[in-house]
Structure 1
């Protein structure tokens, strides 16, 4: 009897030890399709962490775990330990999140990287205040203008239903006489197919992923700005990791970030070439519309500087000092 009891206790002890030794699992919420380069690089990041630590990360692309608009809140509340979110969509939380989407402030990859470097310290600090840990940030290609019909002049834009994904795009639409409507990336094809959206500003990546040439006839290479996504971790989940695992995750994040910047630049021209191959007309905006875009952009920058205050001005000064 004593032997049996002893063996049972040993079995229970070994069971607990085995459970403790098992890898912790994190489900990573992603908004974009599995074939989008953001999701592909996130999957590579997850695989690197899983292979080199006791932490297993499993990605859930296409909004399958949480929709794009839900991911930031889900990570902050601990409903998901890790996730990726478009930074500028969070402008209602803090104007600093919108800095990468100020029209025509940084229209090239080189300038966008400088703006990221200038804003990163404040971004990390702002996230820490929200009990979130920053891992890496990945850019989208420069934003272009999509329209179902040819944009011949400002009159052609009046009343168009414009897909907006953040406050900047909503305000830009209004300034140009269009009607903004909030639509997440996963819903784009249906929105254009049903007439809920007739135009938008977004990257070539978004248009390619959603095969928008099936619903949209024109793409104008405006290069308005280069927005970024960021990968964040719930603060409590991060603090629960041991130092060795934190180091592995941080190293994998740095690798993912460099891959992502390179991939975005590599794909930029290719995406646009695919539009042409699939029947879309690609070109530049008429001068009247381009000037109107830039005028509204200047107004939005002034508005952002006022809302962002000293913290925002410090970021812009740091950025200008890098140019």
Structure 2
């Protein structure tokens, strides 16, 4: 059951809370990803479900008004949206626990990702509550790989590659492996590719297909780097201000969206591969040397996360390993 936190309401600035509560009763839910990516489908499903339950909700994909995942809690506190989807790794600066699902080579399947989600969910909810937000649902991404201009299957091909990552861990790993990596929101990627200041993108086939990265990057290396999550949150004041029927509509739609998202991931990888092939994308696998280099580079990044995540984070990893 999703509980509505009470204490975080007092922690929100009065002005921000007032702006949020002064908005019209209809809700908006935003994501920085396109409608065709799995988080975009999730916000649309949630909006339809809540609207059918009696609370009008509008889904806003493609980063409306410059929305970025890293600013999810600020956007909620400022009343810009009633709910948001955010890539979990982008919130690592808020709490290191949000980096958990994108730790490299920790999960290898949807089942692994679901088990790690179950162990981490109380921590995600608590971290959100400290920001005045309520965790609504989780969305799994297909495994991350490299979108590139030329095939990247060897350590030499990765060396010096100007590559976008989606969090601080990925940046550290790929720099250790020899790439010129930097963390960027997905919304910044197309501009950088157009300008020619980016050679590659760390992303799943799903997010890349949604943005049609193959226009610049016609090769995809299936590195199975991580099966990360996006997380959806509601502003606690907005949720608490709803009448009981409205809160019930939100929570029911959130539960249905969670179930839908995890069901949708089954078969998604094959569907994404088909779409990429149809658009002329070359699919590649890293050679043993590159695979070994990435895993070696990942080791120190995971240990650094373990050291910074505190006892709660270490307990989750220990339970997952056991």
TM-score by length of 2: 0.87
Structure 2 CA distance for aligned equivalents of residues 33 and 310 of structure 1: 36
Aligned partner of 2:32 in structure 1 is 31
- Equivalent position of 1:58 in the other structure: 58
CA–CA separation in structure 2 for the residues paired with 1:142 and 1:281: 17
Equivalent residue, structure 1, for 2:124: 123
Aligned to 1:86: 87
Once the 2 structures are TM-superposed, how far is the Cα of residue 85 of structure 1 from its aligned partner? Answer: 0.6
1:110 aligns with 2:111: yes
Q: Tell me by how many angstroms 1:239 deviates.
A: 1.4
Aligned length: 298
Q: For structure 1, which segment, 304-313 or 174-183, has the greater mean C-alpha deviation from structure 2 after superposition?
A: 174-183
Q: How much has 1:102 moved relative to structure 2? A: 0.8
Give the deviation of 1:265 after TM superposition.
2.6
Deviation at 1:185, TM superposition (A): 2.0
Does the Cα contact within 8 Å between 1:29 and 1:71 map onto a contact in 2?
no
Aligned to 1:153: 154
Report if aligned partners of 1:30, 1:65 keep a CA contact under 8 Å in 2: no
Once the two structures are superposed, what CA deviation does each residue of 1:179-214 show, in whole Å capped at 9, x if it has no partner? 123332234334334322112221011221122222
1:287 corresponds in structure 2 to 288
Aligned partner of 2:259 in structure 1 is 258
The answer to whether the 8 A contact 1:150-1:218 is kept is yes
Deviates more, 1:58-67 or 1:255-264: 58-67
Unpaired segments of 5 or more residues in structure 1?
1-22
How many Å separate the matches in 2 of 1:66 and 1:220?
Answer: 30
Structure 1: distance between partners of 2:56 and 2:239: 13
Contact 1:29 1:65 in 2 (8 A): no
8 A contact 1:161–1:199 mirrored in 2: yes
Q: Which residue of 2 aligns with 1:67?
A: 67
Offset from partner CA, 1:21-61 (integer Å, 9 cap, x none): xx8111222211123232223122112212212x2211111
CA RMSD between the two structures? 1.7
Partner of 1:175: 176
Q: Distance in 2 between matches of 1:117 and 1:89?
A: 20
Instruction: Indicate the larger mover: 207-216 or 160-169.
Output: 207-216
CA distance in 1, matches of 2:65, 2:135: 20
SS of the residue corresponding to residue 24 of structure 1 reads: coil
CA contact (8 A) 2:149 2:200 kept: yes
Gaps in structure 2 of 5+ consecutive residues: 1-23
Which structure's CA Rg is the greater one? 1
**Residues 188 and 210, structure 1, Cα contact 8 Å, conserved in 2:** no
What is the 5 A alignment of 1:216-227?
216-227=217-228
